[in-house]
Structure 1
């Protein structure tokens, strides 16, 4: 089981909804409260993505107070996400990953959409596979990404935190996680199954499959003058264990 915590800090919420939705300058801090022996390795990204108005957190680099949760150090997560991002659909690429003669990559779905032309340099794509990136993807078998987004639910501005698993949907179902946020004697708790990285963050967001915090509650939890967003989201990840007698999944309480 892994215990996780993340701080979501935004300096000012004064202004219109456009200002509130602009999270490009959000300060992101992630740390570990503890980790038991398990094969799970936590993967967050530190810096917010400049295009999607969502932020990921990284536990791989002791920067901004973050700590390394895994048994071995890995490359900075932001760079990995950028490498795996398709330039056409902006979703995470998974095998087969195609590339042009100049090394530009895109996913197999978008290869047909661009009529076999590289969207970056307009060269013919051909049938070249980017085996290096495919190996990078496959090494993510036990990694997770914690996402944080601001969007509108109807007419109401909300925040949402959710977890994605770096693997297939069937593999993601082997795990469960919980997230909670609270202050001043109040608390919101979410428990669910991580979504696959093959589900775009927009798809997860639109399905509301995560911890949703209304703006007024986010400001209440932040305290202070209710003009600065400062949330501490905590949670845990655990692996489900198959019960051979009952044929159902039960929490792995021994990990």
Structure 2
């Protein structure tokens, strides 16, 4: 009997020590998280990635980022899913407007992985930098580079050319670093796009000539080259567009755009070869406009 009492007392003493140790560990989590983004718990290491998992939305599995709201029971849901829900997806209780300031404070110290980590991105960052990074992340899915909004395809970079060859077979591809891009029937009414591919230096370039209807019937042409590749790859090249004929010459030189950026913003800001109908007619022959395109490696 004495022995049994002694063992029980020892066990109780041990549990008390363990409880004390747990409180100490929790205190150390708070300290080490703010300083290093890692925490030591009972001999194991909780990395920033481990902590990020506590912010996972139960609906879309994206991260719940500040401002963080919770239901009365403390369950979280991300700001994108919240407007679509009528009750808490975890406990089915009402969704309140209670701010979880403690989780927001922890979130400010956690390094969250890029949403394209499954595609190969290895960058982790504070939540305040997450949106800007993902907007330009090279692992983000690429959209179809053809102008206009008719094709909604998205995929990896290596899938872009197979998509173009299979789904946009009308696009002509010319080989060589110095070619002529011929746009036919430039007097066609309304907004029109002309597209051609140029293959050289082991890369593919898309040449786009876009005609837009402006105010008071004014029409403008925008010509630009984009690389079927990343921004970093695009920086290795330069292109020149040239209209010539009748003792006249109009030239534009620039770095090609990556298809990750697209051409919309460049056209909007006139960061390309821009000319109106009267200029086009000076260089056109029989309603067709030839543009000399030269690609150079930097």
Scaled by the length of structure 2, the TM-score of the pair is: 0.37
Higher relative contact order (CA 8 A, sep 6+): 1
Q: Greater share of strand residues, 1 or 2?
A: 1
Scaled by the length of structure 1, the TM-score of the pair is: 0.43
Task: Please tell me whether Structure 1 or Structure 2 has the larger radius of gyration of its CA atoms.
Answer: 2
